[in-house]
Amino acid sequence: MRITLLGHGKTGKIVEKVASQKGDTIVHIVTRQNSTSDIGFQEEWIKNTDVLIDFSVAGAVLDNVRNAVQVKCPIVVGTTGWDSQLDEVRDLVEKGSGACVASSNFSVGVQSLFYLARQASRLLSRLQEFHPFIVESHHCQKVDAPSGTALSLQRILQENYSSDIPVSSVRAGFFPGTHVVGFDSPVDTLTLEHTARSRQGFAAGAILAAEWIQGRQGFFDFEEVLFGEEND
């Protein structure tokens, strides 16, 4: 698979490494220094590309997806912090007959947390004494708070709760990320927790999504890639 990488920060560099280990080829790396809004230029390097993988910055996502749709190239978006533009991006892909997998977190472990949180909320929302909550912790250099993953978890729980789901965020130290979904009652507490040990899981998941999106059309979440119709 021939990949053009949008963004070459910490996660982007790991995507490059994991792709190489799997036998894929990074044909282009687009950074702030060599990017351009000129679609003609992008068509030149897109000719030898099977898929775009975006781990850039939130402010670039809309343009990156728009360009991908225009040149008919599938795109995988792992950048976070652009939740306010989600509906606009989805509409852009669907109206332009594009192909996109977007997720706040491409870790298979986190996607399993999403799945389990959905099942738990379906069950416990029937019992008034259980109150849901989310706590997330990340290293002090992470910019967005709450994290994109925490916001995704909040949306999942909100499917079964009419009241707002509280989210608490911590930015300190060096750990890659911990997310806790809890349901608290007067007599007991149920918690589901995921802790990332490295960004390699995000990179491997993004490449899996890049393989899956080949030949498809539409806007998809990574949860759909892994679990398909199981969440219906």
Is 22 labeled as catalytic in the residue annotation? no
Long-range CB pairs of 224-227 (<8 Å, 24+ gap) are 225/101, 226/108, 226/111, 227/111, 227/115
What is the predicted pLDDT for the residue at 229?
56
Q: Which residue has the higher pLDDT, 31 or 189?
A: 189
Before 146, cis peptide (omega within 30)? yes
DSSP assigned state of 127: S
Q: CATH 3.30.360.10 in the chain: give the residue spans.
A: 108-196
Catalytic residue among 13, 28, 131, 142: 142
Q: CATH 3.40.50.720 in the chain: give the residue spans.
A: 2-102+200-231
CA angle 179/107/200 to nearest 5° reads: 110
pLDDT digits (tens, 9 = 90+) for 143-171: 889 998 999 999 999 999 999 999 999 99
CATH number of 108-196: 3.30.360.10
- Among candidate residues 60, 161, 147, the one with its CA nearest the CA of residue 110: 147
For tokens 């977190």, name the residue: 105
Q: Any idea which fold 2-102+200-231 has?
A: Rossmann fold (3.40.50)
Catalytic residue among 8, 138, 179, 194: 138
**SS3 of residue 211 by DSSP:** helix
CA distance 69 to 27: 19
pTM: 0.79
Is 179 labeled as catalytic in the residue annotation? no
Write phi, then psi, for 104 (nearest 5 degrees). -75, -15
What is the predicted pLDDT for the residue at 41?
46
Count CB neighbours of 44 within 10 A: 10
pLDDT digits (tens, 9 = 90+) for 3-62: 999 999 989 999 999 999 999 999 989 887 555 554 444 566 677 899 999 999 999 999
